[in-house]
Amino acid sequence: MSTGKERVRTVARWALGIVLCVAGVGHLTAQRIEFQAQVPSWFPIDADVVVVVSGVVEVLLGLALIFAGSRIFPEGSVAKVGLVVAAFFIVIFPGNIAQFIDGRSAFGLDTNAERFIRLWFQPVLVLWALWSTGGWTWLRDWLRTKRAA
């Protein structure tokens, strides 16, 4: 029997999954050029390749968030999916920083103030992934077990 808190977390996880799927499709279609503005100029791989690969990864992570906990995923996979999604958000954060530092306009972020405010959404996404999947609790418990051993 699931509790109200578990239901809220599940809905939040599904919502994040949908957000990732929509963003991933945007990487591959109409917003492809805009996403290139977030690829740091120092990154050694072609910006379009980075956008396409990250778009595919976002769609896959979104689907994993939606279907984690179902019969197609092993039991206990929800928290691990959350950890992977949180890690992904951390890995792509330099792109948001580069967009701010280089002053690149995309997604209606046309001023440094707007781009700076956008930077604060990335930690929210990390926390959303960890909270909605129980990833934070799983990681804390795993670390306690390792320390006790």
pLDDT in tens, 20-33: 999 999 999 998 98
For the cut 70, the answer to whether the pLDDT of residue 2 exceeds it is no
Segment 39-43 shows an average pLDDT of 88
- Residue 74 burial by Cβ neighbours in a 10 Å radius (0-12, 13-18, 19+): exposed
Q: Of the given ranges (3-17, 55-69, 70-84, 120-134), which has the lowest mean pLDDT?
A: 70-84
Residue carrying the six token digits 């390792």: 146
For the cut 60, the answer to whether the pLDDT of residue 1 exceeds it is no
For the cut 80, the answer to whether the pLDDT of residue 133 exceeds it is yes
The total of structural domains in the chain comes to 1
Contact 84, 92 (CB under 8 A): no
Segment 94-105 shows an average pLDDT of 87
Domain boundaries, position 84: 4-148
> Which residues have CB under 8 Å from 36's CB, separation 6+?
47, 48, 50, 51
**Overall residue count recorded for the chain in this entry:** 149
φ/ψ of 120, rounded to 5, equals -75, -15
